[in-house]
Structures are given as structure tokens and as C-alpha cells.
Structure 1
């Protein structure tokens, strides 16, 4: 029976991988690596997983070098993903399509239902909503936040800092103009809302002048166009305090929002989805919220499992 690789073996495999990525191995290094692989079946198993990981994450080396990580940091990143894949019984998933795994590379992230706040070197404060991942790149010319997935609320710091402050999404860039604003990466579009001052928006494929948003305004934009401006209310950022605030909102929208904060399936039939809801709900206790909704609305909440919940209208 082949021995299962342990953490130390994975650490060694990660070290060899990073070393080979930084520069081509010398004959002596290649011989040493070959001896290491052949000296123990667990070494070979760990390296085989490393090769599978490389095939399924073809962009991994570019992602590591893009942020100019030190060799030690690179080893930690590779090791972290190797341990996750080993622990999950990795059998050739298409990792690029699984956000939770691809986000292992992020500088900061949250799990489903988790929120966190971080302060950056310039004093800027970033709130990360549920299931969110960001990279941070500060250099001499700019301060850049790359939103990989999810939603953030930004309060920029140091008014005297002359470097431009950007948030980058799949669809384009948002530049802060001394402000407090939110950015949400949705499917094929980005949603922006401004609480204080202004931001400018530049889609990737649009060459016209950036669109400027003022406090109290929000917009959705795609890579080739910016949509119509709509009001953006302070209550839409209540998630930073663990709250969902709605006023005369369709239940279907409320359920979709609650679904972001819990794992599994949370579905609502068409009749129930049309019911109107007002109230303030706690995002860290979605089961209690569902119980309260059932007590106040003509709906039935059925738990098939902890991770599969269905809501239907009763009358």
C-alpha cells in the first residue's frame, strides 16, 4: 500500500516546484530531485498531485509571479492548495471553475457566511462580504484592489497620498476620488454604489471618457458599457453591520440575498417570491430569519437537509 503524503512531504514538493518555476534546474538539482522522488512512494504521490495541480491550474505560475511573491510566500501558497486538494480527495476537478479553490491564491478572502474588515498600509479600510476574495497591489504609482469575487466596501485612506486608488473587476476599473463606495462582482457585470464623494468607472472595452458617480448613486456596468444610474441607499451597505434591510421588497429577492450567506440550496417558488417583505434581518442567523418569515407570511419553509431548503406559499 502506498503511503499517503503528509504535510512535510507536501512542503518538500512545493519547494521543488517553486524552485523549478523560478529558473531551469541544473543537472545536479534535477538529479537531487529525482533521488527525492524515488526515495519514498509518498514523495512520488505528492509530486504526482503537484503535476495534476499544474495541469489544471495552468495560470498558477503567472498568478504567483504577478504579485512578485518571495519564494517562501510562493511555497506557502502552493502548499496551501496542495493540502486542500489532498484533503478533499482531489480527482481532477476543473479548478478554474471552482471559486473556493481558485481563491486560495487571494491575499484576503472570506468563506460563505463570513465577513471581515482589514486595514491596508495607507490607512484604507476594506470590508469583505460573504464569499469574497481580493488581491492588494500597492506600488509607487497606484493603489490597486483586485476583486476576484464577491463584494467589498471601501473607505480610502490618507488624503495626502497622491497615488491613484483603483478597484479592478472582470469588467473594468473603478477609481476612487476620495470616497467611500461598494463594489460587487456579479455574473458578467459589476455593481457599484457610492456613499461618499465620487468614483469614476472605466469599462475594459470602452474608450470613451470614464463615467463619474456621485454620493447616493449606483450603477451596473459591463466590459463594453455602463448602465443607467440609479439611487444607492445607505441601507444597501448594512451588510457591514451584519444586517439585511428591506422595504416592500419581493420575497424572492430577499431569499436570493439570504442565500449568499449560507451554503447549499435556498429556493423559493414563484407564488411565494411575489410576496412583499419589509424589515431588518440578521445575516449571521439565516435559519432564525427563515423562521421569522414563516411566522409572519403565508409560507412554508421545508428543510430537506441542512443544505437544501424550499419555500412555498401556503394559501
Structure 2
């Protein structure tokens, strides 16, 4: 993350990544002098450089190839996963933080690594799915989400704990996802009630905070497609799509603001990102740039009118 509270501009991050790539290869005194001048020109340049270095250090510790979706056992047809359409629009990419104490996810009963999706059978035929980089504790009558996202099916009367309060499930299927400052709750089937007040009915989603549960409207189509290893887009802005895809990928994944509002329709296999990037280039006026193996951005193929 940047050392400043303000998000770093996309162009500055790209410059930092390009300088990093240059200095990793063959270079001489002129290149190092030019890089040092760039570093000294603005505080944001040093912040961007520090971020690139931090991501490089994290990625260097990851075994290759990355073990994305090791526990995923679904047989989704590839032919139906690359239906994609587009119309024109703009946006940005922000990294999501986490609020749970670091020790809680580490000691949780069940957890997933980045890029991993896991199904956990429960007594009585109920099922629990954990999305990428999630952690939860299980007991006979309760589930506590410490980090990430889960979907629970077939466990009526279950008590649900989150960083933002407790819930009661009076139905068959519910989803929880942690965000900075709140937890999103999706009532796929049946009602969900917060101990602090507020209820969702079938087909509704809401925001859970310490003061209760407030409705946000109807659930998004395809919101539970991740349980099948699919990222589903229904007229989704490209920037939001890249942000979601970044939850499953190591390294940096960004989107140029000039193309971030281009729209997507389709279903995309999370375990095969290269297919996704190829599909984006075929269907949209974008190109996927990779100045470093772990630094990827989606940019305009040519200047937009």
C-alpha cells in the first residue's frame, strides 16, 4: 500500500513498474541516473517505487506455479465461460483492507489461501463455501466469519458471527462478505435477522454494521457464481471486474481509469486468468500490459475519442 492516505495515480504506478523492470535487466549508469532523478522529482514517485518493491518481495516468496483453486472440485464447462459483451463507459481500482485481528484468521477452524475456493461439508447435509483468502470458525450451532467471504446452505437456525455483529439465519442459504467498515449480507433463500436490529428477506442484500442491518436492494445476479469457480459479470464496469479478479491473483492487477467504465457481460473461469485476459483483448478496445511477471494492467489499445 502507498504510504500516503491518498491513492497513487495509475500513471505513477505504471512509471514505477517500468523503472523496476528496467533496473532488473541490463542497464548502465545513465539509466540509474535517470531513475534517481525520477525518484527525487516527486514524493509520489518514491511512494510508488516502495509499493512496487513491496509487491515484488511478497511475490518472490510465493511458490510457482501459484496454487490457485487447489480445493476447487467443480467441472464447469469452458465453452460457456467466455461469453462476453461490451459497451463504453470509466473508474479506478482500490485494494481492500481487512479489519479482523491478525491472529484470528490464523487460528480459525477453516481458511483459504489467496485464489483458493473451498467447500466444507457440515452435519445434516448443510454446506459451507469459503471464497479466496477467507477464515471462519465452526461450531454445532454457529459460524463466525473472521475474514473474506462465505456462503452457507441448508443450516436453518444457525447463528452467524461477523466483525460487525451477529446474525440469525431462518432460511436455507445466506452469503457474507467482509468490507472495510461493514459486512455485506445476502439472503439468497429465507430471512436473516441481525441481533442489533434489521431483517433481510429472500432476494435481498444488506449492510451489517454495529448498529444493525440495513437493506441495500436486490441481490446481484451471479453473486454466488464464485462457489463454482466463476466470476460472473452482468453489465459490470471493467474497473470493478478487475478489482474482483484481483482478489484471486498474486501480484498487482490494475485498470487504467480511461477504460474502467467499459462494460462486461459474461462468465469467466477464475482458475484460468490468461483466458480471461485474452477474452478482454478480443472483446474490448484494451490491451493487457505486463512490464513485470507479477505486475499487470489493462490499458486502452489506442487513445479513446
Closer, same or farther: CA 98–189 of 1 in aligned 2, 3 Å: closer
- Per-residue deviation at 1:278? 1.0
Q: Which residue of 2 aligns with 1:168?
A: 161
For structure 1, list consecutive stretches of 5 or more residues without a partner in the other structure: 1-87, 89-95, 204-209
Q: Which residue of 2 aligns with 1:265?
A: 252
Q: Which residue of 2 aligns with 1:219?
A: 206
Of 157, 160, 176 in structure 2, the residue corresponding to residue 183 of structure 1 is 176
- Per-residue deviation at 1:112? 0.9
Of 267, 270, 273 in structure 2, the residue corresponding to residue 280 of structure 1 is 267
2:130 is the counterpart of 1:123? no
- 1:114-169 deviations in whole A, cap 9, x for unaligned? 1111112343210111111111123xxxx111101111100134x6xxxx411111
Deviating above 3 A after TM superposition, structure 1's stretches of 4 or more consecutive aligned residues are 96-102, 225-228
Q: Secondary structure at the match of 2:113?
A: coil
Of 279, 282, 295 in structure 1, the residue corresponding to residue 282 of structure 2 is 295
Of 148, 151, 154 in structure 2, the residue corresponding to residue 153 of structure 1 is 151
Q: Which residue of 1 aligns with 2:224?
A: 237
Q: Secondary structure at the match of 2:195?
A: strand
Q: Secondary structure at the match of 1:131?
A: coil
For structure 2, list consecutive stretches of 5 or more residues without a partner in the other structure: 1-60, 62-97
Q: Which residue of 2 aligns with 1:103?
A: 105
**RMSD between aligned alpha carbons?**
2.2
Q: Distance in 1 between matches of 2:99 and 2:148?
A: 15
Give the conservation status (yes or no) of the 8 Å contact 1:192–1:219.
yes
Give the conservation status (yes or no) of the 8 Å contact 1:156–1:176.
no
Give the conservation status (yes or no) of the 8 Å contact 2:287–2:299.
yes
Larger helix share, 1 or 2: 1
Closer, same or farther: CA 311–216 of 1 in aligned 2, 3 Å: same
Q: Secondary structure at the match of 1:273?
A: coil
Q: Which residue of 1 aligns with 2:24?
A: none
Q: Distance in 2 between matches of 1:172 and 1:287?
A: 39
Q: Secondary structure at the match of 1:191?
A: strand
Q: Distance in 2 between matches of 1:100 and 1:111?
A: 14
Give the conservation status (yes or no) of the 8 Å contact 1:216–1:233.
no
Q: Distance in 1 between matches of 2:227 and 2:129?
A: 7
Q: Distance in 2 between matches of 1:134 and 1:156?
A: 17
Give the conservation status (yes or no) of the 8 Å contact 1:247–1:278.
yes
Which gives a bigger RCO, structure 1 or 2 (Cα 8 Å, sep 6+)?
2
- Per-residue deviation at 1:179? 2.0
- 1:194-224 deviations in whole A, cap 9, x for unaligned? 1111111234xxxxxx211111100122223
- Per-residue deviation at 1:102? 5.3
- Per-residue deviation at 1:101? 7.0
- 1:213-244 deviations in whole A, cap 9, x for unaligned? 11110012222343443111451111111111
Closer, same or farther: CA 99–296 of 1 in aligned 2, 3 Å: farther
Equivalent pairs, count: 206
Q: Which residue of 1 aligns with 2:136?
A: 134
Closer, same or farther: CA 240–100 of 1 in aligned 2, 3 Å: farther
Using structure 2 for the length normalisation, give the TM-score. 0.63
Comparing 193-202 and 255-264, the one that deviates more: 193-202
Q: Which residue of 1 aligns with 2:192?
A: 199
Q: Distance in 1 between matches of 2:287 and 2:102?
A: 32
Of 124, 138, 142 in structure 2, the residue corresponding to residue 144 of structure 1 is 142
